[in-house]
Each structure stands twice: as C-alpha cells, then as structure tokens.
Structure 1
Amino acid sequence: MVDVRRVKLPGVGVLHTFRTDDGGKVGVITHRSGASDLVAFADYDDSPEAQNTKVTVRLAEDEARTLAELLGGTQITESLSSLEQVPGLSIDWFSVDYEDHIAGQPLGDLGAHGVIGVAVVAVVRNDVTNPAPADDFKVFPGDTLVVAGSPEKVAKAFSFYRTGEIRPKAPADAPTGA
C-alpha cells in the first residue's frame, strides 16, 4: 500500500505526496479553484536542490491508482461495500443500456421527479470514476451509476432511469377494494 502524506497549503489548497519504489517523490497540488498540478521530484529529499530536479517517474500499478485518486478519480466503487452494512441504506449499481430513458441525458434532479432521499454518488465510465456528479452530468450507454438511498427509493430511481416514469409501489398491506 502506498503511504500518502497530506499537507494543507494556506491560500492555495492541499498537497498530497507519496514516495515511489524507485526513490522518486510524486505529488498533486489540488488548488482551491479546482485545478490540479502534478509534481515529480528526483529524490525523497525536501531540500531546494531536490525540489528543482525534474524527472520522469515510472509508477507501479498501485502508485498509478493512488495518483488517479489524488487527481479526482476515487475508488468509490471499491470502498462502498463497507457502507452496505448501514441499516436502511442501499447502494446499488445501475448499468445504462442504449434503450434506457437516461441514456444520452443529463442526470437531472431526481427530487424534481418525486424521488427524494436518493443520490447518485458516482458515475463509472470506462474504468474512470466520476464522484458526486452534478445534475448536468450527461449519462451514456455503458456508464454505471452508483446510487444510494433506501431500497424503495433506489428502486424508484432505477425505474425512472429505465423508463422515464416513477412507478409508485403500493404498500404490501394496502386494501385492494373500495
């Protein structure tokens, strides 16, 4: 596992750094504006001489995954499994097909369609995770939506994504006659 150091940069943002197997030091500065800078040092030395040395660093798979996380593509799909143990919370994956209503459309606001208390926490596209997508995030066939909420509300969201309609679920103990 890669050990990541986090340092707050007042007025700038946050610097995350880690050491590579070949002795290099890689970092990402996440600016308050949302921009990110990739920084690579020749040595794990914090001296000014080392910080001025530019180098190409070959990253191992777990190092590259760590760098991707720092740049914004978190491994949300791998870490959500522990949340599935929370009572009343359902986390489920919706795979978007060509015939689904949501295909080619922005996510939109589910609350405007009557589904309150459910959230799309990520969209996975081509092995890239887009965490906390905005309402205007456009969804395409092949995407996977990671949805969290009560099991009933997640089912309603899936129904809407599939058909464009919310199908109200009648309570199991509701009377059937007038």
Structure 2
Amino acid sequence: MVDVRRVKLPGVGVLHTFVTDDGGKVGVIAHRSGHSDLITFADEEDTAEASKVSLRLSEDEAHTLAELLGGTQITESLSALDQVPGLSIDWFTVDYEDHIAGQPLGSLADRGIIGLTVVAVVRGESANPAPSPDFRVFPGDTLVVAGSPEKVAKAFNFFRTGELIAKPKTGAIGVPPG
C-alpha cells in the first residue's frame, strides 16, 4: 500500500504526496478554489538530476484524471465480464446539461428499458452499489450500468436527453421485416 502524506496549506488547500518505488515524489495540491496542481519531483532535491514538473488542472480535469487512474483498476478487474456475449458494462459520467442531472435515478424498467441494471453510482471517493430508484444523481456522478449493448446505448441516450430511442416497427415503410 502506498503511504500518502497529507499537509494542510493554510489559505491554499491541502497537499498530498507519496514517494514512488523509483524514488520520485508525486504530489497534488488541492486548492480551496477547486483547481488542483499535479506535481512531480525527485526525492533528493539537492542532486544535480533534481527535476520538477507542475501541471495546473481545473476541477473537471482533476476529476477526469482521477477517473482515468481509478477506472483502470476497475476496468481490469471487469475485463473478464466483457468476454460474456451480449453483456456490456459501461460508465456514464453525468454532466450539468444531462437530463438525469439533479434527478432521482428512477426505474429504467418503468421507462421501457428492461434488462439493464444500474450497478452503482460512483460519487467522489465512494460507490453507492445497487442504488434505489429515489437515489438522486448529480453532475460528476458516474453511473455504472450493465446490460446488452443496445440497452446501454438506449439508457445513455435517456440519461443525456430524457428521450427514449424508439425501436422501429416491423413492416414500417423503409424498415425490412425481421
């Protein structure tokens, strides 16, 4: 397990650092204003090879980086499930303009999307497994869903727009039967 050191920076925010196996240091300054600084530097600062890199991230960029780094472990552990025919597991990150933002999750089955499950809602550092229909979804939340690829796409469209994709009727003009 990695040992993370946390230091309060009065008037600024919090600095989190850890030492890597190769002797480097990685740090994140979480500013009170919402943005973050990602920094890396050599463990031995008085060496000739000491180098420092700093990158300023907006709040959204910091969340994206965290999702990418954390999502890798989740994706790797679920990779075996991706091999199951007809099953898709995907993540939907809620944006401010999405229909579902600020709304209760509701029941997808009541909306005609049967055979799809919201496995969890990830909010910040915590997961809310098997959320109830009255669980309110907020921007920044990530919905983990499982179902057929077609139903996942239908649910994602609903989360974005509030509209369900109508399935073409067999025999309709321009739609071949079957």
| TM superposition score category, shorter chain reference | 0.5 to 0.7
Partner of 1:109: 107
Secondary structure, counterpart of 2:159 in structure 1: helix
Q: Quick one: higher RCO (CA 8 Å, sep 6+), 1 or 2?
A: 1
Partner of 2:143: 145
Superposed CA deviations along residues 11-38 of structure 1, whole A, max 9, x for unmatched, are xxxxxxxxxxxxxxxxxxxxxxxxxxxx
Query: In 2, distance between residues paired with 1:169 and 1:85?
Result: 26
Where structure 1 has 5 or more consecutive residues not aligned to the other structure, the ranges are 2-74
Query: In 2, distance between residues paired with 1:123 and 1:136?
Result: 12
Under a length normalisation based on structure 2, what TM-score does the superposition of the two structures give?
Answer: 0.52
Superposed CA deviations along residues 125-156 of structure 1, whole A, max 9, x for unmatched, are 11311111111111000000001000001111
1:157 CA drift (Å) = 0.6
User: Residue 97 in 1 paired to residue 98 in 2?
Assistant: no
Task: Letter of the 1:124 partner, please give it.
Answer: V
Where structure 2 has 5 or more consecutive residues not aligned to the other structure, the ranges are 2-72
Partner of 1:121: 119
Partner of 2:161: 163
Secondary structure, counterpart of 1:161 in structure 2: helix
Superposed CA deviations along residues 32-80 of structure 1, whole A, max 9, x for unmatched, are xxxxxxxxxxxxxxxxxxxxxxxxxxxxxxxxxxxxxxxxxxx866633
Contact 1:76 1:129 survives alignment (8 Å) = no
Superposed CA deviations along residues 82-102 of structure 1, whole A, max 9, x for unmatched, are 211111000011010001010
Under a length normalisation based on structure 1, what TM-score does the superposition of the two structures give?
Answer: 0.52
Task: Letter of the 1:133 partner, please give it.
Answer: P
Task: Letter of the 1:144 partner, please give it.
Answer: T
Contact 1:76 1:122 survives alignment (8 Å) = no
Over 3 Å counting, the alpha-carbon distance change for 1:177 and 1:165 in structure 2 is: closer
Over 3 Å counting, the alpha-carbon distance change for 1:120 and 1:175 in structure 2 is: same
Contact 2:119 2:144 survives alignment (8 Å) = yes
Give runs of ≥4 in structure 1 deviating > 4 Å. Answer: 75-78
How many aligned positions are there? 105
Over 3 Å counting, the alpha-carbon distance change for 1:164 and 1:91 in structure 2 is: same
Of all paired residues, the percent bearing the same amino acid is 72
Task: Letter of the 1:98 partner, please give it.
Answer: Y
Over 3 Å counting, the alpha-carbon distance change for 1:77 and 1:124 in structure 2 is: farther
Over 3 Å counting, the alpha-carbon distance change for 1:138 and 1:77 in structure 2 is: farther
How large is the Cα RMSD of the aligned pairs?
Answer: 2.8
Task: Letter of the 2:162 partner, please give it.
Answer: G
